[in-house]
Chain A
C-alpha cells in the first residue's frame, strides 16, 4: 500500500515539476538570429547610419548596376560598339545591338531590378536616418548622399524605361502594387533629390582625403545640369553647369589616357566615379572591366562591348583619343604583349582600352580595382557647350568645346584644330561629334542619340531598324507586368 501511495506522489510530483519547468522556461522558444543584426537593433546611431549609406555605394559595384546589362543598354545598343565576344555568346546582347529585343530580355530585366534595389537601399537611409539622434551635420550629409544616389538610380531608369513607379520610401506589403507615373514626374523627383544634395553635401575639396568617392555638391549640380539637358531645359542646364565650372573644384586632367588608369582615379577631372579596390581576399572589386576585357591573348576577360567600325571612322585624323579608346588586333600593349583576339570572335575584333586593366588583379579580372568613371569634367564642359549653343551663346559654347579639344590635342598643334563656327546648327553637330569621340565607350552615347532625336537616322545608316515611338525606351520586364497583376503597363510597341 505504501508503494502505491508513493507512486501517486511520484506521478503528481512529476506532473507538477514538469509544468513548472516548462512554464518558467517560456524563453526556450526565443531564438535570435545568430551572427546577424536584426532591424530592431539597427539604425540606432551615427555608425550604423554611415554603414547604411556605405551599403548604397557598395551596390554601385554590383553586376546588375554597372556591369553586364549596363554596357549592353548603353554602349552595345549604340553605334559605338558591337556585342563583342564570340558570335553565339549572350545572344540577348546581340538582340540589344540589333534592336530585336523583347520584354523578356535579360539586360532589360537586370537593369530594372539592379537599380530599384539601389533605390531600396537609399530609401532605407532616407526613411530611418532622420530619426536617429546623432550629429546633425553628419546626418544631413548622409541623407544628402542617399538622395543623390537615389536620384542617380532614377535618372538611369527614367532614360532606360520612361515612365516608372515612383518609390519614395520602402513599401509596406499593402503598397506593393504600384502604377507607373509620367517621366516628367520622375524627373521632377530626381531634380528635388539632386537639389537637396547640392545644397547639403560638401564640395569635393571639403571632404577629407579618406572620404574621396562620396557624393559631393559638385556632383549633384553636374547631374542636375545633365538632367536638365535630357529634358531640353537648356537654360537650366547651362546655369547649373556654370555653377560647377565657377566652383573651381574641377579641371581637365592633362593626360587623356591617364584618366582611365590608376593615376586618374579621383583626379581633378573626376566629378563622380565608383570606387573599387582589388584586394587579395576580394570584396571590393567589380566585374566592369572583366566583361569588356581582351578575350584571347592576353586573356583579360569576356571580350564584350567591341568598338565598332563606325566608331573607328568617327575620329578625326590622328586624334590620340582613338588609341586611348580602342584596342585593335596586333596592338602592342605596354607589357610588350601583342593583342591576339580569340579567333572565334571573327574579323575586326576590338576591345575597349578605357576598360583595359594593365595588370591582373589578385584572384582574377573579376575582382577589378579600376574605378568606374561615371561623370567627368569634360562631360560637364560639353553639356555647358551644348546648352550655351542652344540658348544662343555660341562664343561660350566654343570656349568650352575647345577646352576639351585642346586637352585632347596633348600639345600637338597639328591636330584637332579649334572649332570656330558660330552657326547654331553646325556648332550643334560639332558638339555632338565632340561628345561622341571624347566620351566614346563611356556608356553615354546611346542615351545621347535618343535625346538628340537622331537615333533612327544614325541606326538606319548602319542597317538597323530603330523604330520611333517604340525604341526611345526599352520594354518593362514582362515579369514585372505579370507579378504586378497588370498594374504596371508595357511601353508602346512591345
Chain B
C-alpha cells in the first residue's frame, strides 16, 4: 500500500477500509425489519407485592429486551407470538407468553439458589453459572466507599488473588496492582479495560462512576486479551442509564481531614549530638558538639507534616426514554497532601449515552473528560529524615538556617515549590451494535485515549548555604501528548435450543499508540513574578530544549466459543493472535489459545432434594498468554546523538554520536501458561458462599534486562528472553450473609497465597542481582533458580564484636574493630567474605488477605474492611544510605559503646563494614490494617417521601485507622520498583489516616 500520509498514514489507510465496510454494513442493516411487533408493558413485583427494579425482561430465544425501572415497570415492543422471560438475581425465572396481551405483569418468587447473575467478561457478558474462568467482581457500593482518588484501591482486601499496594501517600498517587503474583521480571501491571477501551491505568476514573470491576485471573478469562492479558485483566464497567426510566439524580459528597498515621522514630537534638560525637570519635576525630547545649531541638517531621483536608463531590443523573438513555456525572476531588505544598485536584465529567436507532441497531458512547493538576512536595521527605534536630528552621533574623550537609526543608518549601503539572485527558469509546439474522450481533467499537500534560517549574535566586543555593533563576516547561486509538470489530453468534446454549465470538482489533514530549528551559529571567515564568522572558543564550517521540501498534485477531449443555457441562475455548510492533519482523506474531471446562454438579439429580448444599461447581482451565511489556524499541539498536566533543582554538562544540546501548533483535514474546482448577460452592440456601481456586502460572522466555558485566561497556543491559518463573497458589473467597428480622449482617474473607519460584535464568546466568541500595549502590536483591524473584541477599549478623578476644577468635572480613557487627561465616571456612552471603528474606508475602464485615439494623449500617500481608520483609534502605552524617533512627540509641553494652546495634559509623547489605536493614513487613470503618444511617422512606428524596444516607468514615506492624517506616506497603529489586524503603511519602463525613442522596 502506498503511503499517503507520512508516519501516521498506515493507521489511516487501514481504518479507511474498515470505515468503508462499516458503512456498507450499516446500509444493509438499517433497512431491515423484524416482522410485526406489538407494544407490551407491565409491572414486576416480588411475592410480597413490592416492585422490583432492574429485572431483565427478554424475548425468549433472543437477547432483545429491557429492564424494569425503579417502580418495577417496563415496556417493550415484541412479536405477537413472543414469550417474555423475566429474570432477576436471587429470584426465580418466570416465563409469560404474550398471546396478544398488551399488559403483562409478573410476580417473581425468591430463589436463593438462583445463580443466573451476569458477569462481565472480555468482549461480552456471561451467566455466572456458565463461567469456566476465575473471575471476581466488585460492585459499585464497595467501590466508592474509600476517600481516595485511585479506584484500584477499592479492590484491596476485597478480591482474592489480587495484591494492591499504595505506591505512596502523595495526593493522586497510584497503586501497584499484582494479580496472582509476579509472573514476569518486567512490567507486571494488569491490563485495564474500561467500557471496552484497553488502557494501562485507570487513575482518571471517578470511583462514583464505576458500576462494577471484574478481575480476570486465569487463562480462560484473560486469553481473549492475548498478549496483553498475561498479568491479569481488570474490566471496569461504568454506570449506564436505562431505557424507559425516569431520571434519577444522585449526589455523593464527603469532606475529611488527613493526618500522618505514623512517624519514623528519630533521635532528638541532645541524642543526635551524643551520637554524632561518638561517630567522630570512632573515626579518630574530636567530638564536635557540647551535648549539654542541646535538648529536644527541631522535629523536622512535624515541621513538614500538616493536617490536610480532602473533599469530594459527585453529582450524577441517569435515565432514559424509549430510544435513548443516559448517564451523566460530574465529580470534583481535591486532596491536599499531608506534606506541605503537595496537592492534587481533579475534575471529571462523564457522559454515557445509548441511542436505539431501531430494534436492531444501537449506538452508544462512554465519554469522560478529566482535568487534573498536581503539585509534588519539593523533596523534603528525605531531608526531614536526615536533617539535624540541632538546627532551627530559621535564624532569629528570619533567614533560613544553613542546615548543611542536609538541605533545609523550610527553605525548600519556599524556593522549590513552584512546580505544577496540568493534565487534560479524554478517554472514551463509541460503539455500534447491530443485531441481525436473529442470532448475530456485530459490534464496532472505537476507543480513544488522548492525554495532554503541561508542566512548569520556576526556581528563584536564593542562598541558604553553599550546598543549597541557586545563583540564577530559571524556568522549565514541558508538554507531553499521548494518543491511544483502538478499533475493534467483533461478531457474535448466540443461540439456545433445547439443552444447548452456544455463543461464538470473532473479531479483529487494532490499537495504535503515539507519544511525544517537548520541553525547554531558560535562565536569568528579569524577575520572579509568575507573570514572567515564560521561556521568552529568559536569556536566549541559556536555552535548552528537547523533543522526543515514541509509537507502537498492535494488530490482533480473536475468537471464542462458549458452549453449555443442560446448564451442567460448560466449555470455553479461546484463541487470539497478536502482532506487536515492539518485536522484529521475524518474531512479530504470537498465538495464544486457552481451553476450559466446567461442571455444575448442583444441577445433578441427586443434589436436588436437600437444603444443605445450594451450589457446587467445579471448573478447570488451561491457556497460554503473552506479554510484550518491554521498552518500545528494545529490539532496535539506536544511535545516541549529542555525544559532543569540544575541539579547536575557539572551543567549538562538535557533534558526536555513537552506539552506547545494546539491543537484541531476536527477542520474542514472553509466554505465560496458566492452569487453574476452581470450586464454587454455596451452603444453607446461599448463606455461605465461596470459591476456592488453585493455580499454577508459568512464564517462559521472560524478557529480562539481565545485568551484564560493566566491562562489556554498554550503558544499558540488553533485554533477552532468559528466564522462566512459576507462580502457584490458592485463592479463597468466603462470604456469610444472613438476616434475622430487621437485622442483617455479612462477613467475608479473601485470602491468597503466592509461591513464587524461578525455574530457569537462561544459559550462563547463575544469578541476577538488583535493587541498588546504599551510597555505593550495593545490589541487595538476588534472583536465582529455585528461589523467589528478587529475594534480599547479604550477610547474616551474629552479634557485635565485644573485645579483642572476639576479634581474634571469630571469623571476620578484615576491617572490623570492637563494636562492629559480626557477620556470620556461613560456609565455615574461617573467613567472612562475599561467599558467606545468604538469603535474608523476600518482599513477596506468603499470604495476602483481607476480611470485611457489615451490619444493617433498620436504618443503620456499619462496615469494616481489614487487609494485610504475612511473611514478607522490607528493606530499610533509607537507614543504610549515609553519604554523610545524618540524623539517626532511635535504634542507634541501642548502639555498642563498650564491652557488654550491645550485641545487636554496632558502634556509630556512617559507612563501611556495618553498612554492608545485611539483615541489620531487613525488617518484618507483615501487617494488618483496618483499612476502612464506616457507620451510616439511611433515612426511612416515610421521612424521605416528604422531601421528595428516594434515598438519603449520612456516614462517618475512617481510613487507615489502625495498622499493626513491626516495620519502623511510615507504612509497611512499599510499592513500585523493578521486580528484580522491590521492597526497598528509600523514603516514602507517608500514608495518611483519613476521617471523613459524607452524604449520598438520590431523588
List residues of chain B with CB within 8 A of the CB of A117: 660, 710, 713-715
Complex interface residues of chain B between 633 and 675 (CB less than 8 A to chain A): 633, 636-660, 663-664
| Residue among B13, B588, B654 making CB contact with A25, cutoff 8 Å | B13
1/0 per position for B522-539, CB-CB distance to A under 8 A? 010000000000000001
Known: A119-B713, A363-B523. A296 touches B466 (CB 8 A): yes
Residue of B nearest to A266 (CB): B649
Residue of A nearest to B714 (CB): A120
Q: Is A106 in contact with B1, judged by CB distance below 8 angstroms?
A: no
- A58 to B541 CA separation, bound complex (whole angstroms): 22
Q: Is B912 in contact with A485, judged by CB distance below 8 angstroms?
A: no
List residues of chain B with CB within 8 A of the CB of A28: 10-11, 14, 510, 553, 555
Residue of B nearest to A213 (CB): B647
| Residue among A56, A87, A102, A297 making CB contact with B658, cutoff 8 Å | A56
Residue of A nearest to B651 (CB): A277
Complex interface residues of chain A between 2 and 28 (CB less than 8 A to chain B): 3-4, 6-7, 9-11, 13-14, 17-18, 20-22, 24-25, 27-28
Residue of B nearest to A5 (CB): B28
Is B257 on the interface with A (CB-CB < 8 A)? no
| Residue among A18, A297, A299 making CB contact with B489, cutoff 8 Å | A18
| Residue among B656, B659, B776 making CB contact with A42, cutoff 8 Å | B659
Known: A18-B508, A92-B775, A279-B653. A39 touches B544 (CB 8 A): no
Is B280 on the interface with A (CB-CB < 8 A)? yes
- A145 to B1003 CA separation, bound complex (whole angstroms): 81
Q: Is B645 in contact with A14, judged by CB distance below 8 angstroms?
A: no
Known: A22-B14, A24-B1. A58 touches B648 (CB 8 A): no
Q: Is B639 in contact with A167, judged by CB distance below 8 angstroms?
A: no
1/0 per position for A162-188, CB-CB distance to B under 8 A? 001101001101001110000000000
- A461 to B912 CA separation, bound complex (whole angstroms): 24
| Residue among A53, A88, A165 making CB contact with B884, cutoff 8 Å | A88
Known: A173-B720, A479-B769. A210 touches B659 (CB 8 A): no
Q: Is A485 in contact with B764, judged by CB distance below 8 angstroms?
A: yes
User: Whole-angstrom distance from the CB of A363 to the nearest CB of chain B?
Assistant: 7
Is A231 on the interface with B (CB-CB < 8 A)? no
Is B942 on the interface with A (CB-CB < 8 A)? no
Q: Is B648 in contact with A211, judged by CB distance below 8 angstroms?
A: yes
Residue of B nearest to A488 (CB): B709
Q: Is B911 in contact with A209, judged by CB distance below 8 angstroms?
A: no
Q: Is B883 in contact with A89, judged by CB distance below 8 angstroms?
A: yes
1/0 per position for B6-23, CB-CB distance to A under 8 A? 000011011011101100
Number of interface residues of B (CB under 8 A): 119
1/0 per position for A57-75, CB-CB distance to B under 8 A? 1110000000000000000
Q: Is B776 in contact with A109, judged by CB distance below 8 angstroms?
A: yes
Q: Is A3 in contact with B555, judged by CB distance below 8 angstroms?
A: no
List residues of chain A with CB within 8 A of the CB of B550: 33-34
Q: Is B25 in contact with A112, judged by CB distance below 8 angstroms?
A: no
Q: Is B649 in contact with A212, judged by CB distance below 8 angstroms?
A: yes
Q: Is A88 in contact with B709, judged by CB distance below 8 angstroms?
A: no
Is B708 on the interface with A (CB-CB < 8 A)? yes
User: Whole-angstrom distance from the CB of B251 to the nearest CB of chain A?
Assistant: 45
Is A491 on the interface with B (CB-CB < 8 A)? no
Residue of B nearest to A25 (CB): B14
Is B295 on the interface with A (CB-CB < 8 A)? no
Q: Is B647 in contact with A212, judged by CB distance below 8 angstroms?
A: yes
Q: Is A91 in contact with B648, judged by CB distance below 8 angstroms?
A: no
Complex interface residues of chain A between 101 and 121 (CB less than 8 A to chain B): 102-106, 109, 112-113, 116-121
List residues of chain B with CB within 8 A of the CB of A212: 647-649
Is B580 on the interface with A (CB-CB < 8 A)? yes
Q: Is B653 in contact with A39, judged by CB distance below 8 angstroms?
A: no
- A18 to B404 CA separation, bound complex (whole angstroms): 67
Q: Which of B29-37, B342-350, B821-829, B895-903 contacts A (4 or more CB under 8 A)?
A: B29-37
Q: Is A121 in contact with B648, judged by CB distance below 8 angstroms?
A: no
Q: Is A283 in contact with B549, judged by CB distance below 8 angstroms?
A: no
User: Whole-angstrom distance from the CB of B512 to the nearest CB of chain A?
Assistant: 8
Q: Is B657 in contact with A52, judged by CB distance below 8 angstroms?
A: yes
Q: Is B815 in contact with A58, judged by CB distance below 8 angstroms?
A: no
Q: Is B404 in contact with A86, judged by CB distance below 8 angstroms?
A: yes
1/0 per position for B198-231, CB-CB distance to A under 8 A? 0000000000000000000000000000000000
| Residue among A6, A40, A87, A90 making CB contact with B280, cutoff 8 Å | A87
- A282 to B542 CA separation, bound complex (whole angstroms): 8
Q: Is A483 in contact with B708, judged by CB distance below 8 angstroms?
A: yes
Is A392 on the interface with B (CB-CB < 8 A)? no
| Residue among A53, A275, A280, A282 making CB contact with B651, cutoff 8 Å | A275
Q: Is A360 in contact with B712, judged by CB distance below 8 angstroms?
A: no
Is B472 on the interface with A (CB-CB < 8 A)? yes
Residue of B nearest to A480 (CB): B709
List residues of chain B with CB within 8 A of the CB of A112: 710-711
- A89 to B404 CA separation, bound complex (whole angstroms): 10
- A447 to B552 CA separation, bound complex (whole angstroms): 52
User: Whole-angstrom distance from the CB of A348 to the nearest CB of chain B?
Assistant: 13
Known: A14-B21, A34-B550. A91 touches B638 (CB 8 A): no
List residues of chain B with CB within 8 A of the CB of A56: 656, 658
User: Whole-angstrom distance from the CB of B280 to the nearest CB of chain A?
Assistant: 7
List residues of chain A with CB within 8 A of the CB of B21: 13-14, 17-18, 21
| Residue among B544, B580, B637 making CB contact with A29, cutoff 8 Å | B580
User: Whole-angstrom distance from the CB of B634 to the nearest CB of chain A?
Assistant: 10
- A3 to B765 CA separation, bound complex (whole angstroms): 65
List residues of chain A with CB within 8 A of the CB of B659: 39, 42, 124
User: Whole-angstrom distance from the CB of B539 to the nearest CB of chain A?
Assistant: 7
List residues of chain B with CB within 8 A of the CB of A42: 639, 657, 659
List residues of chain A with CB within 8 A of the CB of B912: 91, 95, 100
Known: A87-B285, A104-B778. A171 touches B655 (CB 8 A): no
- A7 to B442 CA separation, bound complex (whole angstroms): 12
List residues of chain A with CB within 8 A of the CB of B883: 88-91
Known: A173-B718, A363-B472. A29 touches B553 (CB 8 A): yes
Is A284 on the interface with B (CB-CB < 8 A)? yes
Q: Is A89 in contact with B884, judged by CB distance below 8 angstroms?
A: yes
Is B405 on the interface with A (CB-CB < 8 A)? yes
1/0 per position for A280-305, CB-CB distance to B under 8 A? 11111000000000011101000000
User: Whole-angstrom distance from the CB of B723 to the nearest CB of chain A?
Assistant: 15
Known: A362-B542, A484-B709. A7 touches B436 (CB 8 A): yes
List residues of chain A with CB within 8 A of the CB of B613: none
Q: Is B651 in contact with A25, judged by CB distance below 8 angstroms?
A: no
Q: Is A344 in contact with B711, judged by CB distance below 8 angstroms?
A: no
List residues of chain B with CB within 8 A of the CB of A86: 404-405, 884
What are the 3 closest A-B residue pairs judged by CB atoms, nearest first?
Answer: A120-B713, A21-B17, A54-B656
With A54-B655, A92-B775, A483-B769 already in contact, 20 other A-B pairs whose C-beta atoms are closer than 8 Å: A11-B491, A31-B632, A37-B657, A54-B645, A54-B657, A58-B644, A58-B656, A87-B285, A92-B911, A100-B912, A109-B776, A165-B711, A173-B664, A176-B708, A212-B647, A213-B647, A282-B544, A479-B707, A482-B779, A483-B707
**Chain A to chain B contacts (Cβ below 8 Å), 16 pairs:** A3-B28, A18-B508, A21-B14, A25-B14, A34-B550, A54-B644, A54-B656, A55-B660, A88-B883, A91-B883, A100-B815, A121-B713, A165-B709, A173-B718, A277-B646, A344-B404
A residues contacting B by CB (< 8 A) are 3-4, 6-7, 9-11, 13-14, 17-18, 20-22, 24-25, 27-42, 48, 51-59, 86-92, 94-95, 100, 102-106, 109, 112-113, 116-121, 123-125, 164-165, 167, 170-171, 173, 176-178, 209-214, 266, 275-277, 279-284, 295-297, 299, 342, 344, 360, 362-364, 369, 477-485, 488
B residues contacting A by CB (< 8 A) are 1, 10-11, 13-14, 16-18, 20-21, 24-25, 27-29, 31-33, 279-280, 283, 285, 404-405, 436-437, 440, 442, 466, 469, 471-472, 489, 491, 508, 510, 516, 523, 539, 541-544, 547-555, 579-581, 585, 588, 632-633, 636-660, 663-664, 707-715, 718, 720, 764-767, 769, 775-779, 813-815, 834, 882-885, 910-912, 916
